[in-house]
Structure 1
Amino acid sequence: MTINAVIDISHHNGTRLDFAKAKADGILGVIHKASQGQANIDPMYRTNRTRARAAGLLWGAYHFATGSDGVKQAIQFLTAVGDPTDTLLVLDFEPNPSGPSMSLEEARAFNTHVFEQTGQWPGLYAGHYLKEKLGAGSDSVLAKSWLWIAQYGPTAVVPPNWPTWTMWQYTDGAVGPQPHTVKGIGRCDRDKFNGSETQLRRLWGAVA
């Protein structure tokens, strides 16, 4: 089974989000941009974390990757996240429109450092860029991370490095299958989870 119960957002979604309405609309988890590169922290991360948790939502954080030292980016990410307890961690591995993009080697260094510091392998959010980099090959380090596939079509095509997808971003709020909106949030990235609510909570560490 799959459930359509996760959104991912950043400061681009605005400052007046109503997470209680989002929860009432069926959303269980929110994954928010925490950082980018080696220096940037999303200005709405901490505020929205407080509001989302107050509404009873699961909370996650992602790092937008750039083409630079993977360990230094991981340090920046963990600094932005703060206490990682009950926070789902993700590396956003996609083309960087404003500079060099992260390499597979840098991604391995990032994910390994996060694991060494937290005991949690971060999820890997990726789409065509990862497929181009991996081709038909495999990557044993990145395979330790659960896959969050971005593909705005009727089905999610998974790289051979993973047996299946864990989450699927099926729309950016404009392109892709419906629904595109969430009450209290508006148009946004929406994500399906490949499993039940109990399994989702287990991924988050909210269920033993």
Structure 2
Amino acid sequence: MTELLRPDRAWFARDAVELARLLLGAVFSCTTAEGTVAVRLVEVEAYRGDGEDPGSHAFRGPTPRTRVMFGEPGRLYAYFSYGMHVCLNFVCSPDGTASAVLLRGGTVVEGIELARARRGRSSDRDLARGPGRLAQALGVPLAETGADLLAPPFDLRIPAVPLAFEATPRTGVSGVGGGAAFPWRFVLPGEPGVSPAKRHPRAVD
């Protein structure tokens, strides 16, 4: 089994595309009053900063919602998708450079009974398969945006040796940022926690 290490703040101060690849196989956990759930990350997407990546929330500069993306690396950026699902991102790159990695899919490796209770009728394969399901299984609310990933209630352990991965265009991103020019979705091949790749109908290469 791959050795896992706890990163420091400086580890997050790197480009989002590089960080995304290094996060594959990492174990991310959240502890609440209900207990701890940990997820092994098998699918992530990279988003770079303002003016550079049209698929990024930070493309047009800081807003009250995205300000955390421009700040200290190693913070959590959470947002609502379609007004229903919380999505979780790891802020990276040096302070002042907006970029983040979206956690798209994983496999629950601790606290599976609690994850099942949170996810209702979901199969074990689908407990954290997709960004909304992953956040729900972990029990991370929108209010945690800006929280420190290096402090409770979170814990992150990263592989000591990077794992083999596959790269594809990002999923469900419209416009130029969703095209083949941005192959910034990274997955561990063959893992059941990887969500289906869906090209947005308005994606542009």
Give the TM-score of the pair, scaled to structure 1.
0.28
**Using CA pairs below 8 Å that are at least 6 residues apart, which structure has the higher relative contact order?**
2
Give the TM-score of the pair, scaled to structure 2.
0.28
